[in-house]
Structure 1
Amino acid sequence: MLKIKNARRNNQRQTNIIKYDLPLFYRKQQVTATEAQVIALIPKGEDSKVTMTDLARLASLDTRTVQNIISSAKKKGVPILSSRKAGDSGYYIATTEEERRRGLATLRHQIKEISAGIEGVEGADLDRWQRSTGFNEQLEKIMKRKREMKYD
């Protein structure tokens, strides 16, 4: 379970819990033919990865469709993981417990980042965010540099 602290609903502070236990509904389903096609293109093992762009091209599908297929396959129990390391990113099918552990650590980190984003948006002052984040000052600096470059 993942706690999201200080969530706001109806102007009241409360703590929400997000469970990521999968319903049995997903675990009992078999992969579809299209899912099988995409899964077959994903290399086994962390040392051999395929990027989303390459996977979509190989499957003759758009990236959004491939992302949805991967999400669905994961829910059905296919151990598809990914790495986001610069120069070594891509999808793979875990073949060892160590690969699974590293891949799950990446997913858990993503959950924390998404949760932090949710908290930031929930706590944002809709009327004063530009002032409180220094947005206006940074934008003015950018515009000033652009004007200076234009006249150089």
Structure 2
Amino acid sequence: MGALKENKNTRQVLPDIYKRVLRQIPTNSDRLATTTEIAKATNLRPVHVRYYISRLITEYNVPIATSNRQGNSGYHIITNEMELHDTVRNLKGRADKITKRYEALQNIDLNTWQDQVDYEL
């Protein structure tokens, strides 16, 4: 796992909406901001909050951690290698599950799946 990477390029100016979202994300991993909290504070829909957070990470290289643990879900700014490692591990596990579902769906025969499952609707 590499260190938090410094962006050697010129500084990018964040659009105002991205700034509004980013300001709601704490740097303390003990206090996470949920999508709902950020949506209320920024007057955005949760789907848009997730979009802007994704773009902050992928387009602007902002180190934002996400946690989906029950009772402790939300976002915070990654401040050390352990938080980075935990976030990457969490995302990898989620990506693996999505890939498994994707592959299963690719192999489902829409004409015969019902013959393979005993169920009643």
Bin for the TM-score computed over the shorter chain? 0.7 to 0.9
1:51-100 per-position Cα deviation (integer Å, ceiling 9, x unaligned): 11111111110011111100110012001111111111111111111011
List, as ranges, runs of 4+ consecutive aligned residues in structure 1 with deviation greater than 4 Å: none
Relative to the length of structure 2, the TM-score reads 0.84
In structure 1, what is the Cα distance between the partners aligned to 2:113 and 2:11? 46
| Larger CA Rg, structure 1 vs 2 | 1
Q: Give 2:101's aligned residue.
A: 117
Q: Give 2:20's aligned residue.
A: 37
Aligned residues: 111
The structure with higher relative contact order (CA 8 Å, sep 6+) is 2
- For 2:91, what is the secondary structure of its paired residue? helix
Cα-Cα RMSD: 1.7
Following superposition, the deviation at residue 50 of structure 1 comes to 1.1
Following superposition, the deviation at residue 29 of structure 1 comes to 4.8
In structure 2, what is the Cα distance between the partners aligned to 1:71 and 1:63? 12
Alpha carbons 1:42, 1:50 under 8 Å: kept: yes
Gaps of 5+ in 2: 1-9
Identity rate, percent: 29
In terms of fraction of residues, the more helix-rich structure is 1
Alpha carbons 1:43, 1:50 under 8 Å: kept: yes
In terms of fraction of residues, the more strand-rich structure is 1
Q: Give 2:80's aligned residue.
A: 96
In structure 2, what is the Cα distance between the partners aligned to 1:29 and 1:128? 53
Relative to the length of structure 1, the TM-score reads 0.68
Following superposition, the deviation at residue 28 of structure 1 comes to 7.4
Which of residues 33, 43, 60 in structure 2 aligns to 1:60?
43
1:87 equivalenced with 2:71 (yes/no): yes
1:102-122 per-position Cα deviation (integer Å, ceiling 9, x unaligned): 011111111101111110111
